[in-house]
Amino acid sequence: MKCNLADSWKDVSRRSFLRMGGIGALSLGLSPLEAETPPPQGPTMIGVPFERSQARIGIIGTGGRGTSLLENLLAADARVLALCDIVPEKAQHAQSLVVKAGQPSPTLYTAGYHDFENLVARDDLDFVIIATPWDWHVDMAVAAMKHGKHAATEVPAAYTIEDCWRLVDTSEQTRRHCMMLENCCYGYNETLVLRMIHEGLFGDVLYGEGAYIHDLREELFSNQGEGLWRRTAHTQREGNLYPTHGLGPVANYMGIQRGDRFDYVVSVSTPQRGLDEYRKAHLAPTDPRWAERYINGDMNTSIIKTANGLTITVKHDVVNPHPYDRVNIIAGTKGAYADYPPRIYFDGQAGGEQWGSIDAFKDHQHPLWKREGEIAQKLGGHGGMDYIMLYRLLQCLREGLVPDMDVYDAAAWSAPGPLSRASVAQGSAPQAFPDFTRGHWRERSASQIATQS
């Protein structure tokens, strides 16, 4: 994770943004809450299985996150044939891990920013994993698909609605899957609660909440790793910069893209304070980072309405002191669950109106955790969810199964980023979600993760 590219998204006044938005909608014959849907590039990718393969993997990006994914892939017996990074030493370290695991030494691609194009052009890879800075995700995933490889990218998958459509259109055109590596969908608690919802224990689900509240100030100002590029987004965008960790599990709980879909979002942001305060306390007066102007509000709060009338609150704050929290709330007509710490409540339960322990519901543990939980927890990786996610991905590749998450999930879960920015810029005006499935969201009834046996 290493480069410092960024969107060229421009700041415009609220008045001009509103005027342009109204003119654009009228010229297309759309209401303010309708989003244009381009024609499909091919049949839908919903329900399309992988072809059976040996799961031969290439990895683009071997920094901290890429190396962590590599270690979990090796533990799941993935065949890693190629590694790419612009820092040769990082690629060489990853190469040594593959050799240590008893595999042939993978080919390295370290000749600059675009050497990934040579990796994806190989004819002996089935799957490409992308663990690079955010602004490279779409170009790399598109290149992989156009060269006949399935692709998975770190989160978020895309930073503009246009790029969300690029991923969807390319997947449909090439018949290659593209998914987002949303590991939080595979957490122990998240999968357990998902099974309980699928079994009807919560009744009719009504609302949920998700968040990414994580004090990253020290990391953002680091002179290595994500500190080299991630802070830049705070100088260019105002909205939710990183929505998917909190949103993905709630979307699965609600069956988004599986009988329901995101309809529209409204978004508000607080003033920006955290990065300025941290800079005052930790940077020398001569540090060149004093020239940066941070514009992203510290706490962004967005509310999503679904087509079926459900609501989801999504929050983002990475620049203030706060314990790590993804919130992870789901509530229905029979009960509610909330995390950090995990707690659960059902109508009529013993103890009155008090939260109960989730430990009483361990019999709903997900089959993946029953089979692989011990090795997952031993490896670590966000409590074991990384291993469970990659183990399941490899299983789908090897057995020719339909992937749990697809390009439509990648696009829809990434879309709150650009839509929250548009809403904030327009005084919290509602922003319509495109229907990335082009109406096919009605064809499924539940998350594939919920129904695994």
Structural domains present in the chain? 185-368+398-451 (3.30.360.10)
CA pair distance 385, 434, nearest whole angstrom: 30
The pLDDT, as a whole number, for residue 34 is 80
Query: Nearest-CA neighbor of 376 among 364, 392, 362, 360?
Result: 392
CA pair distance 92, 357, nearest whole angstrom: 46
Dihedral sign (CA 259, 164, 393, 133): negative
Residue by residue, DSSP assigns 195-228 as HHHHTTTT-SEEEEEEEEE---HHHHT-SSGGGG
CB atoms within 10 A of CB 290: 12
Cis peptide bond N-terminal to 418, omega within 30: no
Dihedral sign (CA 45, 48, 52, 54): positive
The token pair at 382 is 């966000």
Work out the widest C-alpha separation in the chain, in whole angstroms.
64
The pLDDT, as a whole number, for residue 351 is 87
Q: How far is CA 77 from CA 33, 80, 182, 434, in A?
A: 47, 9, 21, 38
pTM: 0.92
Q: What is the three-class DSSP state of 116?
A: helix
CB 359, CB 194: distance < 8 Å:
no
Name the residue with tokens 């998914």.
179
Burial class (CB in 10 A: 0-12, 13-18, 19+), 28: exposed
Q: What is the three-class DSSP state of 140?
A: helix
Tens of pLDDT, residue by residue over 55-75, are 999 999 999 999 999 999 999
The pLDDT, as a whole number, for residue 324 is 98
CB 369, CB 388: distance < 8 Å:
yes
Which amino acid is located at 370 in the chain? K
The token pair at 232 is 């830049």
Tens of pLDDT, residue by residue over 121-174, are 999 999 999 999 999 999 999 999 999 999 999 999 999 999 999 999 999 999
| For helices 407-414 and 244-254, angle between their N-to-C axes, nearest 10 degrees | 120
Query: What stretches in the chain show pLDDT beneath 70?
Result: 1-32
**Torsion angle (degrees, nearest 10) of CA 236, 225, 389, 196:** -60
Query: Nearest-CA neighbor of 151 among 176, 185, 116, 132?
Result: 176
Parallel/antiparallel/unpaired status of strands 431-432 and 311-317? unpaired
For residue 84, list its beta bridge partners.
60, 109
CB 211, CB 314: distance < 8 Å:
yes
Specify whether the backbone of 225 is left (phi greater than 0), alpha (psi in -120 to 50) or beta: left
The pLDDT, as a whole number, for residue 36 is 87
